[in-house]
Chain A
């Protein structure tokens, strides 16, 4: 796997604005089940949103990603940072993508997912463990394409799903693959 150094070097300070904390919404909030709007990654609103997402992710314990619909904004913007997670292999540090999509994926793996917006359930979801994702960086709006694997690949797909109005519940691996949450972070 090749790490995209442009994405790796990106940090939220590139945005030039300080993020403010937003409240994380929970299902069944309709915004979580609505396809997010495509955004202009250079617009000041999107830059502010990107900074808010990173700031909110930072203060949420164990949080490795946050998508705009989770703070009540129906837009295709999300942040990810899996660098501190024990399951992470290669990664791209902290970054925000706008209008991202999965270009290709391979090597399906099943894992149990949890989500801050669905605090009472976990669920088994099968997803490719190696993917190529394309999107734009907020601020400059430059197009980037990156390869991701393992935990970062799962986190990216989970957040891109949020931007498409999908929760892990929509991808449950079977009728008995959703579980009542037993332990709380």
Chain B
């Protein structure tokens, strides 16, 4: 086995049918292997991030994807990235949800509590619909974290912001 080369690619911009098909088609054409990817719409904007593996140079990938950006509706970035060791997290897994009236600073205040105890966010979605602001996050807390204290601090931060917060254990049923 030779050295594995990974490329992180982002595609952002105006949504229309076929963007994913075109992007992945070009990547397959270069012999690149799609590994992890995620895509969603952010306020109607197409937003995709992916990591693929293969020998093509970043510049080659950029040229192959150039047709996507030709009319100015999409932006593409390509960057070689190192292989990350996925560490087996000790600790505990939680689902954090926050919702309430929109106001500045909700996300930073809430995730600040998590960061303050060495917690790590592994997945995050926020949405704004009308005046309702919503945050849902997957959170890993370190083994030493005092979960009751984290809950109290989250509740106090949420009370200041006038939003509701809940922290539920992300239990898995092993079947």
Contacts and interface: CB of A to CB of B under 8 A. Distances in A.
B171 A112 contact: yes
A61 B125 CA distance: 34
B175 A159 contact: yes
Contacts of A113: 172-173, 175
Interface in B19-68: 38, 40
B85 interface: no
Contacts, number: 52
Contact of B89 (A111, A115, A154, A182): A182
Given A112-B170, A176-B123, A176-B125, A182 B175 contact: no
Given A176-B123, A182-B93, A62 B138 contact: no
Contact of B173 (A111, A159, A179, A185): A111
B174 to A, nearest CB: 5
Contact of A65 (B90, B93, B175): B175
Give chain A's interface residue range (CB within 8 Å of chain B): 20 to 34
Q: Is the interface of A mostly helix, strand, loop or mixed?
A: mixed
Interface string A129-142: 00000000000000
Give chain B's interface residue range (CB within 8 Å of chain A): 10 to 19
Contact of A183 (B38, B40, B89, B125): B89
B138 to A, nearest CB: 7
Interface string A43-72: 000000000000000000011110000000
B32 to A, nearest CB: 20
Given A176-B123, A179-B123, A182-B140, A151 B89 contact: no
B123 A151 contact: no
Interface of B: 38, 40, 86, 88-90, 93, 122-123, 125, 138, 140, 170-175
20 contacts: A62-B174, A64-B175, A111-B171, A112-B171, A113-B173, A113-B175, A114-B173, A114-B175, A115-B174, A115-B175, A151-B173, A154-B173, A154-B175, A155-B175, A158-B175, A179-B123, A182-B88, A182-B89, A183-B89, A183-B93
